[in-house]
Structure 1
Amino acid sequence: MHRATHPTYRFSLQDYSAAERLDAWRAQYSVAEFALSGPFDSAVDYRFCGYTLGNISVGKWIYRQPSAARAPLAYTLNRTIPLIRRDGLDSYSFNLRSGGMVRGNIDGRAIHVQPGEILVVDQARPYRREIEAGGAITLLVVRDMLPNLPSALHGTLFRGGVSALLDGYLSSLLEQIETMSPLQARYAEQATLSLVKAMLSTSTQDIANARNELLSTLYVKAKEYIGRNLESVELSPDRICKDIGISRSSLYRLFEQDGGVSHYIRKRRLRAIRRALTSPENARHRIGDLAYRYGFQSNSQLSRAFKQEFGHAPSETREIAQRERSHAPVRADADYGNWLVQLR
């Protein structure tokens, strides 16, 4: 008998007392600044159920409003650069609306999303959205699965055609997902990615030529190479170029969106060090040993880079992690923000 796919995150306003509902709702949005735009009616229900399938996550918001309610819930989400730096969320969000609407500003452009439309958001870039609550499906895709998309995609709207097919497919997927075996879940992930790429091809056809297809493949290959060689003293742009067969200028173009290849390597190494320091199974790691292992010349060099990346010194990491674990809720699925960032 196969193991079914289970939700990785659930939320419902009605799971809380009337006095707790607003605070519980606000707490879900750790990835953006949350503010009410109108009155809060504690009688409404806003619920979400989300699932993760490999490199994608998909979930559904359901909004129920009593007939006596004066107006739908309205709120704003403001994702700022400090929040982006803090959580490292690096995925594309596809928001498929079936009710309510969204207004806002993305890259200086006004947006207005109505039912039947799909809004694409790059979670590694700022946005401000004013949302009138309603039914919606949220699809998250890891950036590596959709490499080298144009920056103009951030804030783009899709409607009709393949986007309508994607909407119908995801609705059907969510109805069946809890009965899927692991193998079926992998097929569903592949099918979803194929539909997303088909939808995007209509807006990127002018640049989706053979050269970009090659660069997309090399980008994934370069990131995999870096991941395998984080502890190597020989890891460098020149070494990457030699081993994967790419010119220096092409390598730099590939990692332009990441702040440069050297910046990307340092970020990956710092995250590896943080994982080592916060792992309960490896509580005896010495900071000096980790600095040497991941290519830092001294403890002070590591400390400066670590504090710049995470806002605190390496020596404080274990204490912070222990404090967060001790204050964590019993349920591992209690934060919509955690569901969003798990794909990073």
Structure 2
Amino acid sequence: MMRQPDSLIDLSHLDRLRQVEAWDEYTWRESETTDRESALHDDTPFRSAAWKLKDIVLTETSFPVATVLRMNTHIRRARDDYLRLRIFTSGGGSALVDGSDVRFTPGDVSFMKGSAQIQMTASGRGIVGLYIPYDTIGLDPTRLPSHFALSGEAGAGRLISSALTSTLADMPGTRPNEMPALAAGIIGMLRGVLALTRPDDLARGSFQVLRWHAVKTYIDDHLDDLDLDVVRLCKVFNMSRSSLYRMFKPFGGLQVYLHSQRLDRCLDDLVISAPDRGSVRRVAERWGYFNPPHFYRRFRSRFGFSPSDAVEIDANLEQAILPSANESPTLDSASVLDCMAIVDSTTADSN
């Protein structure tokens, strides 16, 4: 089954003048082309394909040498609450982005704020693009420069470029029910990489370290997805099974890592659960443990006490926390030791 783009423009069947005019009509909300003479004499095709994946839009575009303007009039017509990502796979150019000189080099990953004014002269014979809302990847636009770029040779640039180009290559054969997982993968990958919000840190980071950070962030965001597995992670991050297995070897393997993280989430939920009948079962099933004896063994092996003991921790802590009317609750070391002793004693009794 071939999946068609959600938005496709291919003007190769038109004469050159009509191609230029049609392209202007297509892009008028975002920008406008001012150097028509150059565009008329360049044989690069006008083409844009866009796939909407949940909250993000992934694009593949080509256009001839042109001067492109994106000014306040365009910004007011379109949304500006997103980050624009561009990778020139060929071509390139230069621009003024909010008054700062910027160069677009093939292979580099460029980020521009949706609110940035741009005057760009470029040839886009192959551009991979991404529009992604700031809140989707947890970024505060007030802390970002109007433009920053990552070298395609650096770890972060290689990781982002590899993930997006492989996703584009897979799009024609992707089924609609697979689209949310692809979107989540791109979002998780970018959140993991851009968590290092200083561009200098991103540029210095090694490919392996940044990919590990991105994979870990993705896993943390999807621990409640019980279908999360090796196949999904390899597809999202364009990795081989052997690379993924090596990444998690220090943790005892991927499955061991997933179990440890899910058990940690179980503990977090249990200590804030009301000590009523069925609370342990509800928490266990929320994180994928449907066999109670199996869950109890795993939980005790990791923490040294039972899930039922964990439910009692919060009640004992409440007795130890005595906030005044105008102060936030505090916990002293003696109270912590008392609670630990209670857990230890109940664990010993149950043995």
Aligned residues of 2:44 and 2:62 also touching (Cα < 8 A): no
Partner of 2:74: 83
For each residue in 1:293-339, what CA deviation from the matched residue of structure 2 results, as whole angstroms up to 9, or x when unmatched? Answer: xxxxxxxxxxxxxxxxxxxxxxxxxxxxxxxxxxxxxxxxxxxxxxx
Question: Are 2:92 and 1:107 equivalent residues in the alignment?
Answer: no
Q: Which residue of 2 aligns with 1:36?
A: 35
Deviation at 1:136, TM superposition (A): 1.0
Measured in 2, the distance between the counterparts of 1:155 and 1:206 equals 13
- The alpha-carbon deviation at position 151 of structure 1 amounts to 4.1
Corresponding residue of 1:278: none
Alpha-carbon offset, residue 196 of structure 1:
1.5
Could you say which residue in structure 2 is the equivalent of 1:182?
A: 176
> Per-residue displacement from partner, 1:110-158 (whole Å, max 9, x unpaired)?
1011001011111123222221232110111022213314543321111
Q: CA deviation at 1:4?
A: 6.8
* 103 and 156 in structure 1: CA distance in 2 versus 1, 3 angstrom threshold: same
Aligned-residue CA RMSD (Å): 2.5
Report the CA distance shift for 1:41/1:205 in structure 2 as closer, same or farther (over 3 A).
closer
Find the partner of 1:26 among 24, 27, 41: 24
How many correspondences in the alignment? 196
Letter in 2 for 1:115: P
C-alpha distance in structure 1 between counterparts of 2:195 and 2:104, whole Å: 21
Percentage of matched positions with identical amino acids: 15
1:280-299 to structure 2, matched below 5 A, reads none
2:84 corresponds to which of 78, 81, 93: 93
Question: Can you give the 5+ residue segments of structure 2 that lack an aligned partner in the other structure?
Answer: 202-351
Is the aligned partner of 1:131 residue 2:119? no
Q: Deviations over 1:60-91 (max 9, x none)?
A: 1246xxxxxxxxx3212221122212323421
Residue pair 1:50, 1:57 contacting (<8 A) in 2 also: yes
In structure 2, what is the Cα distance between the partners aligned to 1:85 and 1:25? Answer: 20
Match of 2:49? Answer: 49
Aligned to 1:283: none
Query: Which residue number corresponds to residue 158 of structure 2?
Result: 164
Q: Give 1:43 shift.
A: 4.2
Higher relative contact order (CA 8 A, sep 6+): 1
Q: Contact 1:56/1:189 (CA < 8 Å) preserved in 2? A: yes
1:120–1:153: 8 Å Cα contact kept in structure 2?
no
Q: State the alpha-carbon separation in 2 of the partners of residues 23 and 129 from structure 1.
A: 19
Instruction: Please name the residue that 1:193 is paired with.
Output: 187
Secondary structure at the counterpart of residue 28 of structure 1: helix
Name the SS for the 1:92 alignment partner: strand
Work out the CA distance in 2 between the residues paired with 1:173 and 1:33: 29
Matched, 1:173 2:167: yes
Using the alignment, how far apart are the partners of 2:197 and 2:135 within structure 1? 19
SS at match of 1:15: coil
User: The residue matched to 2:51 in structure 1 has which SS?
Assistant: strand
The change in CA–CA distance for 1:182 and 1:97 in structure 2 (over 3 A counts) is same
What amino acid does structure 1 have at the position aligned with 2:32?
E
Taking the TM superposition and a 5 Å limit, the aligned residue runs for 1:192-211 are 192-204=186-198
Report what 1:60 is aligned to.
60
* Distance (Å, rounded) in 2 between the aligned partners of 1:6 and 1:143: 27
Q: Indicate the SS of the match to 2:144.
A: helix
The answer to whether residue 15 in structure 2 is matched with residue 17 in structure 1 is yes
Q: Is the 8 A contact 2:79 2:114 kept in 1?
A: no
CA contact (8 A) 2:68 2:121 kept: yes
- Aligned partners of 2:94, 2:42: CA distance in 1, in Å? 24
Alignment of 1:300-339 (within 5 A): none
Mind listing any 5+ residue stretches in structure 1 that lack a counterpart? 64-72, 208-344
Superposed CA offset, 1:268-315 (max 9, x none): xxxxxxxxxxxxxxxxxxxxxxxxxxxxxxxxxxxxxxxxxxxxxxxx
1:119 to 110, 124, 127: 110
Does the Cα contact within 8 Å between 1:99 and 1:135 map onto a contact in 2? yes
Residue 136 of structure 1 aligns with an amino acid whose one-letter code is I
CA distance in 2, matches of 1:189, 1:131: 29
Larger Rg: 2
Q: For the residues of structure 2 that align with 1:196 and 1:130, how far apart are their CA atoms?
A: 28
Q: Does 1:7 align with 2:5?
A: yes
Question: For the Cα contact (< 8 Å) 2:44–2:125, is it kept in 1?
Answer: no
Task: Report how far residue 51 of structure 1 moved.
Answer: 0.4
Give how far 1:47 is off.
1.7
* Contact 1:22/1:42, CA 8 A, preserved across alignment: no
